Chain A
Amino acid sequence: QDSVYVPLFTYRTGPFAGSGTHIADGMHDYLRMLNERDGGIGGVKLVLEECETGYDTKKGVECYESVKGKNPVIVNPWSTGITLPLIPRASVDKIPILSMAYGLSASARGDIFPWVFNPPATYWDGLSMIVKYIGEKEGGLEKLKGKKIGFLHLDAAFGKEPVPLLQELAKDIGFEVALYPVAAQDMQNQSSQWLSARRDRPDYMIMWGWGSMNGAAVKEAVRSGYPMDKFYSVWWPGEDDARAGGAGAKGFKMLNWHAVGTNFPAIQDIQKHVVDKGLSKASKDKVGELLYNRGVYNSLLIAEGIAQAQKVTGKKVVTGEDVRRGMENIKLDPARLKELGLEGFTDQLVLSCSDHNGHRAAFMQEWDGTKWVKISNPIEPMTDRVKGQLEAAAKDYAEKNAGWPKRTEACDKAS
């Protein structure tokens, strides 16, 4: 029996289920579609198993331990809190970790974290893109001088990660930063933050939130009359979050790096082979929504990692170690995307031995009251600035973790 085991860590329960469910559906359905349509990848069936984490670190670690014995080819923790404890384990257990655009930003460095992947962009990339976009709208980054940018963030490692970069940019460019931390237990109760925003009158507001914090923020912004076209977010809010703000939420903007909608052969295959056959948990109208497609993107990377692994090793049934190599060989260029039935779904992504992230561009999209509309071309991150942060962080991590294992895994291609 030829098969590879792909565990999916999901959270359809708990306080973050609102986001988690759609992502889980997208992840599952894409891989399921490959099974149904193609009989798996390269003729090998995928054994899919969900493990419910509830976004709880304790349960996530438990999930990891329980799937570990079944030779998973890759693990997606879907929570920064869960990713952190898994990072040191991955290298010992030889299981690659895919923390797609979350987790430890420093893990973009393949030479130090050979087992961790966080494509297509880090949070630092994301922040730099938003600042860049705002700057362009103002007519050049230097025009931001004297402006005030509010930063509404979850008061946790995830939300605070971009702060140093933001402050550095503020110093260089000359804008002012106002921080609005939101504690996890106050996610749904943000009136103080928005009151403070009324006091400080920031010219722009950037949000780094997750789960119900996003929806509540949109609501509060509308409530307190903040101009929505000045309100930007990193890539985590979904349609539900924007919808929460009602008509007033029009103009709310966020970064994204993949398409929404179902206008792709692969996604239509999902509908045909999975959703219509009742093999999915998703309701039909949710297919193609932002977070659903985010899940699809995640699975696309998994599938591609496996496919590449099969290619480089020549084996059909690959292992975690092979998939790690496969991931380092990912090259999702337009041609490949077209082959996969996802032409135009996303920008190209190339990972390598040293670069586990890609630092890809994202684009800005705007809520028009009913759906997301792409409003910009791809925005490249400010690589020069982000690199510095990244280098320092990775070095710092390795230094503080004296005894952090040196990369011993060979590289498949020069980077």
Chain B
Amino acid sequence: MRAPDNPVFAKGDVLLAVENVSLGFGGVKALTDVSFDIRKSEIRAIIGPNGAGKTSMLNCINGFYYPTEGRITFKGVKRPKMRPYEAARGGIARTFQNVALFKSMSTLDNIMAGRSIKMHSNFFWQLFRHGPAMKEEVEHRRFVEEIIDFLEIQHIRKTPVGRLPYGLQKRVELGRALAMEPELLLLDEPMAGMNLEEKEDMSRFILEVNQQYGTTIALIEHDMGVVMDLSDRVVVLEYGRKIADGTPSEVKGDQRVIDAYLGVAH
């Protein structure tokens, strides 16, 4: 995989800034005045109790929701109201809390579908499955096979993903997001429903993506072990408000976080 080369944004620059974002649905306030930033090449965890607004935050970032107030700046540009596919084309990829794979497609096709935005051969060649279309198909197939190798899912390459167990589906979903070669990768509970061994594997993939390609990652996860070990910085939400922001150890010691989220024994 190639690292997306972006001369302007070096490691450590603010890639995405969320400023005073609020989001409401009728009477429900999902987010209230939340501000934080995500820096280039870091792993940023978002944690908080259930219903705190973590998923909603990701949805705002990739354009699925539009904040009722506040603004989001990506790569230094204030984002206008945009459709999700525009965000995706701008370099933001994500996985979903409730697996959202294309159930009837095979693993390979799912990941290939993730490459759609990188493929450009025209309709005519597609019709004949020849020339540029075939060339492109093979070229991207090669890339996708790399991802498959990387994620160690060769054996299920041709299985329809609807039949896969939950944990593998999550892995395929990660693969699909990686296929977009994103600059910012949003992961919504990538390790829910996995056992320890699988979590370890998943952690390894996340770290590797982050370290080798410098991909910036925003991560929602309820397993504190994972969050503490992987993330560079953590932001904590509760009832739609930010209650803490800092390094894992800072956050872990914060009394409000302990009360709201961690409970006692951590």
Any A–B CB pair closer than 8 Å = no
Chain B residues in the interface with A (C-beta under 8 A): none
Chain A residues in the interface with B (C-beta under 8 A): none
